[in-house]
Amino acid sequence: MTEEQTTYRYAPIAVSDESTVVSEFVADEVREASYQSEDALEKALIKQLQSQAYEYLPITSEAELVANLRRQLEALNKTEFSDSEWDGFFREKVSGANDGIIEKTTRIQEDHIQVLKRDDGSVKNIYLIDKANIHNNRLQVINQYEVEGKRANRYDVSILVNGLPMVHIELKRRGVDIREAFNQINRYQRDSFWAGSGLFEYVQLFVISNGTLTKYYSNTVRDGHLKEQTSKRNKSKTSNSFAFTSWWADAKNRPITELTGFTKTFFAKHSLLNVLTKYCVFDVDRKLLVMRPYQIVAAENILLRILTSSNQKKQGHIEAGGYIWHTTGSGKTLTSFKAAQLARNLPNIDKVLFVVDRKDLDYQTMREYERFEKGAANSNTSTTVLKKQLEDPAATIIITTIQKLSRFVAKHKAHPIYEKPVVVIFDECHRSQFGDMHQEITRSFKRYHLFGFTGTPIFAANASSSLKGSARTTAQAFGDKLHSYTIVDAINDKNVLPFRIDYINTLKLSEHIKDKKVSAIDTERALLSPERTEQVVAYIREHFDQKTKRSSSYTLGDKRMVGFNSLFATASIDAAKRYYLEFAKQQKDLPSDKCLKIGLIYSFAANEDDESGILGEEEFETAGLDQSSRDFLDATIRDYNTMFGTSFDTSADKFQNYYKDLTLRLKNRELDMVIVVNMFLTGFDATTLNTLWVDKNLKAHGLIQAYSRTNRILNSVKTYGNIVAFRDLEKETNDALSLFGNKDAKGIVLLKPYAEYYKEYEKRVEQLTTDYPLSLPIIGEEAQKAFIKLFGAILRLKNILTSFDDFTGNEILSDRDFQDYQSLYLNIYADFRTKDDGEKEAINDDIVFEIELIKQIEINVDYILMLVEKYLKSKGAGEDKEIQATIDRAINSSPSLRNKKDLITQFVKSLSASAKVDEEWLAFIEKRKREELDQIITEENLKPDETKKFVEDAFRDGGISSGGIAITNIMPPVSRFSRNNNHSEKKQTVLGKLTEFFERYFGLA
């Protein structure tokens, strides 16, 4: 292949004349005023797509779809199939009998060139999609496509790429919750996408919209959601897949939510084709990851900088690179690796070096890199492997550590790679990329493009004077800022959680001490006094359940978890040792099930924390520790071995394995807390971790990094990252948020102060007691709706306030009044639920959130079962009447549990003290469910098999279906000529009984 051909072949992959993400989106100023139906929304979308050069195809059947596919593939590949050639190709290469979503996604993402066997025995490559020249692909739009699977479905709008459906758009009218579109696709994928030839399993991306709000996501988000729902013990309320849907945005991170604007930008032909061909990553776990707009912008800006600086002969200079500021938790690894993958396909780039810190590669994120390119990550400390990779023409992308690269440069003063054009990408540019290492690398390589990714850049305001060389800021080391996505952006987009911070004052200085200057050493000594250490540990133990939400439960994998876990960041190894001993002292007389499971880890830190806020880096070795610290660490690891049946110690290999095991148990919530100095405070991700206890001075880079361990999204129970600071870090926190967010960051990143919430709470409660005194009935629907909204707001505020220590003892309503108001609230909710008027949907929308809130915090089924376990443990020493009363109160206060009270009561009575509650609950519910359904079938003379299938579908779909022929199919036959033909009345009776049955058992197993 000639150089000219190479340029033509690869350049379109790397960069196009048009950016995938629009630089700045300006919405139309003129807004429509008239009501818009779902049909009108769909027609407007199709009309807009046609104006954007999509061909509208009026087909509704599979035969027409397959015929069109043949025509499109013939046009793309400039060939004609004979009938026999097409039949064989379609059967074997397109619609394999055993192929599902994974196989078809693999075909689009990795094997898009299939081999056609021609009638004359020759072969020809057939492109399903042209990834090199994206505008060779043809885009068509269809709507109302009909398919018959487990049931008949009609899809809203689908985008065909070369005849294959690759994007599906599900619409709901304005005013309807966008999640209904999400759930509709759920049913399609389960019931009919696989039907016939299964062409709709080629859909790579889903788009959901109600006109006002529009989001997109990949097929495996949906596939994972389905698998999650089929997990027997999983509760639908904990499903988090909707949280992984994405907003589209412009390059300034401003979301484009309205369907018209979304269509103009996301469905611009070059944008959609770029997303499908370049910005989807199919990892080794066979999950399709579709990149978010800020990730795409960053990758494209890197590619553009490489091309422009190459044209200007700037290789080897700072102008040839730059840095990407994407906040912690925003997916920097995926962004940086995709940039590396695309950069290696650029003309005149010999290698891409993807450089990470040793601890990240060896212990935490190696599997992340392996997900994207199997075999690329090599953690061998020898430079021999790196040298072979640098000399191998086939190794175009190399993952290495900065330590290994530095050793290679020191060992090989002259090497051919130094003269070749290379792209060097640092996954996380922190202190190790400054000073000697940075200078050695940039001095040796002559034609480099240097890029850094960071969530916490070093600016002039937080630069350290201790760093060697002239590069003291991120910009000085890497060049221009190419894109930013701050912590404020991430919280606004709901890609990470906000923080909630408690500042706990632990030292009260006397007047004569305040007048003296006290050294930092003396201050630290005071902070480690036994009296203070004892009080801090007592505080943590007292508030641990509250902060880590131990009254709330959720599922993680196939296990039910109660609450979250935490890290305790201490100022030094000495402090970590003291706190570990104090926890052991305070818990020594407690039964094992009442003790917090605590781990500890530290190692030698070559560098102390510096004035820039960068945390001192602990090496993954213990040889540098003094003997006392190493002996203590060995002792705590022996405690850990006893707890988990392991056999680790501080020897080199076993300590590394201890780190890995500790990491895994923290992520699986098998530990309640790990005491650390600096380890785990940067780069460590565990979605089950929600609380950071801090007795350590933090600021700037280190503060944001440490806080960000707590704010990874997991589920609806985890609502914020919880920080409990035993030092006055308020100024440092505000400064860090201003530095790494913007001047308004504090108000967005943090929850509001307690006083602001409490003031609003006082106002609402005063309105409640004034407008709705308990002595008077609430008359009229309007007044009842207003009451529901007001009390719902009070519930929301109370939920937030209960997480503040200050709220204890400051409740305004008495317990009795709160109970009475809640009874009214629940009763009115039940009344509206039974109404069948036009207001039903709107009032339910207002109520459901509050009901879910109550269930989530205190009275879901999981919480009841937890109380049952406590009750069983208490029976041996005489029945615990208080727990029985708590169970009764919890059931009576929940509208979703009151119709299940007899089931729970009977279940509790049937248990022995040694019962396994979870297992016996599932068996009990299944048995009772079968018995009650059989009774309904007998009483109403229903068709048994059809009825059981109908009910099974209802539990799968989340509701009883009253439309279509499904309900008719289960009914007993009725003669149309009978005088007493009460079919309609009978149908309503059956629906009523089955609905009551469904609501009684839904969510119990």
Domain count, the chain: 6
Beta partners for 567? Answer: 674, 692
Please indicate whether residue 617 or residue 158 has the higher confidence score (pLDDT).
158
Query: At 451, which CATH number?
Result: 3.40.50.300
Asked whether the predicted pLDDT for residue 738 surpasses 90, the reply is no
At how many degrees (to 10) do helices 332-343 and 3-14 cross? 160
Residue 886: per-residue pLDDT: 61
pLDDT tens digits, residue range 973-994?
Answer: 765 555 455 677 788 888 888 9
Determine the Cα–Cα distance for residues 818 and 802; give it in Å rounded to an integer. Answer: 14
Among residues 434, 428, 448, 446, which one has the least CA distance to residue 704? 428
Neighbour order of strands in the sheet with 565-570: 499-503, 721-725, 689-695, 565-570, 673-676, 598-601
- How large is the average pLDDT for residues 857-880? 55
Which tokens sit at 10? 């690869």
* Whether residues 505 and 598 fall in one domain: yes
pLDDT tens digits, residue range 478-533?
Answer: 889 999 998 888 887 888 888 888 888 776 655 444 444 444 555 677 788 888 89
Asked whether the predicted pLDDT for residue 234 surpasses 70, the reply is no
Among residues 917, 932, 791, 893, which one has the least CA distance to residue 849? 791
CA 551 → CA 163, 435, 607, 729, 866, distances in Å?
52, 49, 41, 29, 9
Among residues 323, 356, 330, 329, which one has the least CA distance to residue 427? 356
Which tokens sit at 830? 């039940």
pLDDT tens digits, residue range 886-900?
Answer: 666 556 545 556 677
Residue 103 in domain:
no
Q: 36 near 259, Cβ under 8 Å?
A: no
Identify the DSSP state of 751: P
Determine the Cα–Cα distance for residues 833 and 840; give it in Å rounded to an integer. Answer: 7
Please indicate whether residue 196 or residue 802 has the higher confidence score (pLDDT).
196
Domain boundary among 485, 510, 529: 485
pTM value > 0.85: no
Instruction: Write out the residue range of the structural domain in which residue 964 sits.
Output: 925-1001
Determine the Cα–Cα distance for residues 890 and 884; give it in Å rounded to an integer. Answer: 10
Residue 91 in domain:
no
pLDDT tens digits, residue range 561-595?
Answer: 888 999 999 999 999 999 999 999 999 999 888 89
Identify the DSSP state of 813: S
Asked whether the predicted pLDDT for residue 858 surpasses 70, the reply is no
CA 727 → CA 511, 602, 703, 724, 755, distances in Å?
20, 21, 13, 9, 21
Mean model confidence pLDDT for the chain: 79
Which tokens sit at 606? 């070559």
* Whether residues 326 and 447 fall in one domain: yes
Determine the Cα–Cα distance for residues 322 and 318; give it in Å rounded to an integer. Answer: 7
Cα-flanking dihedrals φ and ψ of residue 560, to 5°? -90, 125
Residue 729: per-residue pLDDT: 86
Q: 704 near 459, Cβ under 8 Å?
A: no
At 695, the pLDDT band (50, 70, 90 cuts) reads very high
Q: 204 near 288, Cβ under 8 Å?
A: yes
Which ranges of 645-772 would DSSP assign to H, the alpha helix? 652-667, 700-707, 730-740, 745-749, 754-771
Beta partners for 560? Answer: 555
* Whether residues 740 and 706 fall in one domain: yes
pLDDT tens digits, residue range 783-793?
Answer: 888 898 898 88
Residue 464: per-residue pLDDT: 58
Determine the Cα–Cα distance for residues 693 and 713; give it in Å rounded to an integer. Answer: 19
Asked whether the predicted pLDDT for residue 113 surpasses 70, the reply is yes
* Whether residues 832 and 885 fall in one domain: no
- How large is the average pLDDT for residues 627-632? 93
Which of 161-170, 229-238, 278-287 comes out lowest in average pLDDT? 229-238
Domain boundary among 232, 255, 290: 290
Residue 215 CA to its chain's centroid (Å):
15
Residue 278 in domain:
yes
Among residues 937, 938, 854, 955, which one has the least CA distance to residue 898? 854
* Whether residues 573 and 520 fall in one domain: yes
Residue 106 in domain:
no
Which of 34-48, 160-174, 413-427, 491-505 comes out lowest in average pLDDT? 491-505
Residue 13 in domain:
yes
Number of other residues whose CB lies within 10 A of the CB of residue 53: 10
Query: At 840, which CATH number?
Result: 1.20.58
Determine the Cα–Cα distance for residues 866 and 859; give it in Å rounded to an integer. Answer: 10
Number of other residues whose CB lies within 10 A of the CB of residue 743: 8
Beta partners for 141? Answer: 56, 159
Beta partners for 215? Answer: 208
* Whether residues 589 and 658 fall in one domain: yes
Residue 692 in domain:
yes
Q: 604 near 622, Cβ under 8 Å?
A: yes
Residue 102 in domain:
no
Asked whether the predicted pLDDT for residue 737 surpasses 80, the reply is no
Phi-psi region of 613 (alpha: psi -120 to 50; beta: other; left: phi over 0): left
* Whether residues 886 and 962 fall in one domain: no
* Whether residues 878 and 833 fall in one domain: no
Residues with Cβ within 8 Å of 153's Cβ and at least 6 positions away in sequence, in order, are 146, 147, 187, 188, 191, 192
* Longest pairwise C-alpha distance within the chain: 103
At how many degrees (to 10) do helices 861-875 and 881-892 cross? 170
Which tokens sit at 412? 């090989």
Asked whether the predicted pLDDT for residue 877 surpasses 70, the reply is no
Q: What's the one-letter identity of residue 801?
A: L
Residue 14: per-residue pLDDT: 38
* Whether residues 889 and 929 fall in one domain: no
* Whether residues 286 and 298 fall in one domain: no
* Whether residues 284 and 298 fall in one domain: no
Among residues 154, 259, 273, which one has the least CA distance to residue 214? 259
At 430, the pLDDT band (50, 70, 90 cuts) reads low
Identify the DSSP state of 136: G
Residue 80 in domain:
no
* Whether residues 308 and 273 fall in one domain: no
Query: At 202, which CATH number?
Result: 3.90.1570.50
Residue 827: per-residue pLDDT: 73
